Amino acid sequence: MLDIKFLRENPEIVKQNIKNKFQDSKLPLVDEVIKLDEEFRAYKLEADTLRGGRNKLSKQIGMLMGQGKKEEAEAVKAQVSANAKRLAELEVLEEEYQEKIKKIMMIIPNIIDPSVPIGKDDSENVEVQRYGEPKVPDFEIPYHTEIMEALNGIDLDSARKVAGNGFYYLMGDIARLHSSIISYARDFMINRGFTYCVPPFMIRSEVVTGVMSFAEMEAMMYKIEGEDLYLIGTSEHSMIGKYIDTILEEESLPHALTSYSPCFRKEKGAHGIEERGVYRIHQFEKQEMVVVCKPEESPVWFDKLWQNTVDLFRTLDIPVRTLECCSGDLADLKVKSIDVEAWSPRQKKYFEVGSCSNLGDAQARRLKIRVNSKDGKYFAHTLNNTVVAPPRMLIAFLENNMNADGSINIPKVLQPYMGGQEKIIRK
C-alpha cells in the first residue's frame, strides 16, 4: 500500500506506474482518492479545531458563572452542545472517509523498481542468466508421475478418492526423497545464517489482507468456515504476520528467517489442476526465506535471496536460470521479482520452481511493521523467496538425475538425508 502523502504529491508518477502495469482501469482511482483525501482532511481540521476548543469553552462557562453572567454562560453552553453534536457527525465522517481511502489505496499497485522491464504478462519476462548446462539424455524421460509410479512412489488414484484432484500420496523412497530435500534445504539456509522457524499454518484475515492483494486472496486462500482463519498458501504470510503492529529496534535488523510449512491453495485460474500431475496442486510443502530489513538494504538482500535458491539447486545437479518478471507479471504489492526456473530434460525447457520478491514497505505499511531509529520511526522493507517447494521440485530432480534403466541418482549432499542411499532403483 502506497503512502497517501506520496500519492497526493506525485499523482502522475502513480498513474504512470499503473499504466506500466497495464491496469488502466485503475487510473480513475488516483483522482478519486485525492478528492476523498481533501475532503477527509477538511473534516479532520474542523474536528481538531472543535476538539481543541472544548476546554477553552468549558473554562469560559465556569468563569462566566463565577461572574454571575448566567445568560452568557448559557449561550456558551449552547455553543458547546452544538459543537459536540457537530463533532460527533465529523467523527463518523472521519471514520467513513478513512475506510473509503484505505479500500482504494489497497487496490492501487505499489511503485515498481525502475529496473523492472515493462511488459503485459509473463510471456514478456526477461531471462537474466543460466546456471549449469541443460542436457537432454539419449533416452526417453517419462512424465514425472510415471517415473514415480515405476518406483512405487506415488498413489494418485487413492488420493483422488479421498480428496479429489490436486492431492497425492507419496510413498516409499519418493516420500523419503521429498522429506530429505526439505530437510536439506532447511540446513542449507541455517548454514547461510538464517534462523529456522515453524510458523502457524493458519492466519487471521487482518494478516491475509496485510500480505497480499484482494485478488490474490480470492484466487488462493481457503477460509475456515465459521472462524476468522485462513489456511496459509505459503509460510511467508505467517512469517511476515509475526511482526504485525510491532516496533523493531534498528540495531536488531536485519531479521533473516527460513521457515517450513505445508501450503494450501485453491489454484483458481487458467492452468487448472492436472489429473495426473503434481505440478499444480492444492497441498504441498515448502521451505521459505523471509527478510525484514532497512529500506537501503533491501536491494542487496533481494540478490542474496534468489542466489540462495540458485546455489541450492546447483548442489543437486539441476540446471537453472533466473527470469526477471516484467511489470505486468508483478503482483500489486511487489517492487521487483525474479523467478528461478529449473531445466526439464523431458520438455526441453525451463519451468518455475521458485519466486523471489522485494515488496518494499508495502506489507510493513499495511501491517504496521515499524523501525525505531535515532532519527525517528519508519516502515521496514520485507522480502521473501522460495528455497524449495516439493513436489514441484521433485519433477526437476527426478528428470535431471534419471538414468537409462529408470533409477535415480542421489547427489552426495543429499545422501546423508537418505540414509546413505546413492540411488533409488526399481524394486
Whether 9 is covered by a domain: the verdict is yes
Tell which residue, 200, 221, 324, 326, has the closest CA to residue 264. 221
Q: What is the pLDDT of residue 268?
A: 59
- pLDDT value at residue 125: 97
User: Do residues 230 and 357 both lie within one domain?
Assistant: yes
How many structural domains are present in the chain? Answer: 2
Residue 36 near residue 100 (C-beta atoms within 8 A): yes
Q: Is residue 112 part of a domain?
A: no
Whether the Cβ atoms of residue 116 and residue 326 lie closer than 8 Å to each other: yes
Angle separating helix axes 11-20 and 27-66, nearest 10 degrees: 150
pLDDT at 269 over 70: no
Query: Cα(13)–Cα(40) distance, rounded to whole angstroms?
Result: 23
The residue out of 105, 139, 167 marking a domain boundary is 105
Q: What was the pLDDT predicted at 373?
A: 96
Give the residue-averaged pLDDT of 221-232. Answer: 94
| Claim to verify: residue 196 and residue 133 sit in the same structural domain | yes
> 219 and 328: one domain?
yes
Residue-level pLDDT at 272: 52
If one compares 399 and 63, the residue with the highest pLDDT of the two is: 399
What is the residue type of 204?
R
* Domain-located, residue 110: no
Confidence bin at 113 (pLDDT 50/70/90): very high
Among 75, 105, 135, the domain-final residue is 105
At 48, the pLDDT band (50, 70, 90 cuts) reads: confident
Mean pLDDT of the chain: 92
Strands 369-373 and 320-324: unpaired
**33 inside domain:** yes
- The last residue of a domain, from among 72, 105, 138: 105
- The residue range of the domain holding 79 is 4-105
Angle between the N-to-C axes of helices 27-66 and 70-105, in degrees from 0 to 180, rounded to the nearest 10: 160
pLDDT (0 to 100) of residue 183: 97
347 shares a domain with 273? yes
Same domain, 134 and 99: no
CATH number at residue 381: 3.30.930.10
Which pLDDT does position 68 carry in this prediction? 73
Residues 81 and 200 in one domain: no
- Same domain (yes/no): 12, 160: no
Domain assignment present for 327:
yes
Residues 22 and 126 both lie in one domain: no
Cβ atoms within 10 Å, residue 310: 19
Say whether both 96 and 163 belong to one domain: no
Letter for the amino acid at 345? Answer: P
Residues 12, 56 within the same domain: yes
Residue 270, pLDDT score: 42
For residue 355, what pLDDT is reported?
95
Cα–Cα separations (whole angstroms), residue 287 to 64, 157, 253, 267: 72, 27, 22, 19
pLDDT tens digits, 120-175: 999 999 999 999 999 999 999 999 999 999 999 999 999 999 999 889 999 999 99
270-321 pLDDT, tens per residue?
Answer: 455 555 788 888 999 999 999 999 999 999 999 999 999 999 999 999 999 9
| Between 87 and 7, residue with greater pLDDT | 7
Query: Average pLDDT of 38-45?
Result: 94
Q: What is the pLDDT of residue 304?
A: 98
At residue 341, the pLDDT reads: 97
Task: Work out the average pLDDT over 328-340.
Answer: 96
Residue 136 lies in a domain: yes
> Is 117 inside a domain boundary?
no
Same domain, 71 and 200: no
pLDDT score at 222: 93
* Percentage of residues in the chain having pLDDT higher than 70: 95
Same domain, 101 and 136: no
Looking at the domain assignment, is residue 206 inside a domain?
yes
pLDDT at 70: 72
Please report, for the domain that includes residue 63, its CATH number: 1.10.287.40
Q: How far is residue 336 from each of residues 270, 298, 358, measured CA to CA in Å?
A: 24, 11, 5
Q: How many CB atoms lie within 10 A of CB 404?
A: 10
169-210: per-residue pLDDT in tens?
999 999 999 999 999 999 999 999 999 999 999 999 999 989
